[in-house]
Structure 1
Amino acid sequence: MTNGTNRILDEFAKMMTDAAGAAQGVRREFETLFRTQAERMLHSMDLVQREDFEAVREMAIKAREENAALQARIEALEARLAGEAGSKPAPRTRTKK
């Protein structure tokens, strides 16, 4: 009778192990399906990937810095021109006789 009980317990343990393996397989299938559907949905929403966002962000920062530098150069040139115009006599214009 001891062998019969052990065999029943062994069969029960094997059945539970198989059930756990099947549950893990179902879980993997569900995760794969969910991931595929999520990727499809995100792709259809036309969202920007993080890498692309960061690249454009860096470009915008660089462009702002370049614009600020160019603005400073323009202001310096305008100040220099205004200073030169104030120190020189105004050019004469010819009048018709």
Structure 2
Amino acid sequence: MALDPNIIGALAPVAVVGVIGWVVTTWLRVKHGYPLENSWGKPMLPAKNNEMVERIKLLAQENAQLRAEGGSVKDRLQVLERIATDPGKRLASEIDALSTKALN
């Protein structure tokens, strides 16, 4: 018994939509932090080991350092933008005010 080509043609779009739906569902689960499941419905969680925990700690420390550095760079950039866009007379008067304040 051979399959009718019309039946195969009618079922092909259903199969494609099913596969696309599975891919999108899996992507959404991963994106929002839900665990993936195996064919029996049990969650597939990565195994934790000491090396992974230490690596996460190091990455968290590096992230904190980079955020602090980024904040200081942002502050410096604001000062440079202010210097570049302020009128010359006002900037000169502010510098003179700071120099006289430092002398007193």
Q: TM-score range by the shorter chain?
A: 0.3 to 0.5
Q: Which has the higher contact order (CA 8 A, sep 6+)?
A: 2
Structure with higher Rg: it is 1
Q: TM-score by structure 2 length?
A: 0.38
Q: What TM-score do the two structures reach when normalised by structure 1?
A: 0.40
